[in-house]
Amino acid sequence: MATTTLPQKRVLTETSRNIPPSPATAGKKRKVEFSSSPVKRFGGSQPHGGPGRSHLSSSQTKSSFESEVLEKLSQDISDLKQSNAEKDQAWERPPLTADFDAARDNLTFQQIEAEEGTLHGGRTTVKLFGVTEAGNSVLLHVTDFKHYLFVAAPVSFQPTDCASFKTYLDSQIAQSSPAIYSVQMVMRENIYGFQGNVQSPYLKITVTDPKFINKVRAQIEGGNANWKGLWKGIDGGVMTFDNIQYILRFMVDCHVCCLVPGS
């Protein structure tokens, strides 16, 4: 009876032990060992001028490109900065003609920008920047434009009460100088919700300086300016109207249009 001999299983650990490393494997191993030791490549590890810096010395001679091209370019840029510093951003406006009389002639210019400013010891103005058709630059200070707000007048409030309410409101604001310029009763229509196109009486409260407007508004909306208790049911505060900035208020009332880029 013939017997069949089955091949025995090979033990991987033992066979791998007898396999000599190939040249490719040895090369990879040497490469890994070399790249993982960057200090050895530079000959040392001294950080401040030891033997390890011998191969990184800064005494190497400069190339012709560094010595000729780059240094000349740097020198040219330095000379340009000293001689032509921002001269390309400056230009002269034409002078004003000698026959211009501010008391007689009108000044027509295109308004480009507007901002809030001061004049004569802190007096608030609106500064308008622009240019005339001849190219003259213009800075116009607009004075005496007063800021204001509206509040719905109480039912029993009469036009004759405006002066007394102005005095009372000024005392509530408590400024070193008068804060309230005037109080007027005017007819206005509330745009919040349809009111049937019916106008109602409102108080137009004008301040002497725009910086007082926020304090006056806070006093009224907080219920701290309820003169004679005429405003009834103010648990939720009193609503004021036209809460817009001073410059915008001026431009709306005076029909000043800003120059919009691209328009």
pLDDT of 218 > 90? The answer is yes
The answer to whether 205 touches 185, Cβ cutoff 8 Å, is no
Q: Which residues of 61-70 are buried (b: 16+ CB within 10 A; e: fewer)?
A: eeeeeeeeee
Express each pLDDT in 20-75 by its tens digit: 555 555 444 444 444 444 444 444 444 444 444 444 444 566 666 566 666 666 66
Q: Which residues of 140-172 are buried (b: 16+ CB within 10 A; e: fewer)?
A: eeeeeebbbbbbbbbeebeeebbeebbebbbeb
CATH assignment of 148-244? 3.30.70
Where does the pLDDT of residue 209 fall: very low under 50, low under 70, confident under 90, or very high at 90 and above? very high
Position 217 scores a pLDDT of 95
Domain boundaries, the chain: 110-142, 148-244
Question: What's the chain's average pLDDT?
Answer: 76
Write down the pTM of the prediction. 0.61
Per-residue pLDDT, averaged over 87-112, amounts to 82
Q: Tell me whether strands 123-131 and 240-241 are parallel, antiparallel or unpaired.
A: unpaired
Q: How far, in Å, CA of 112 to CA of 258, rounded?
A: 6
Express each pLDDT in 150-200 by its tens digit: 999 999 999 999 999 999 999 999 888 899 999 999 999 888 777 788 899
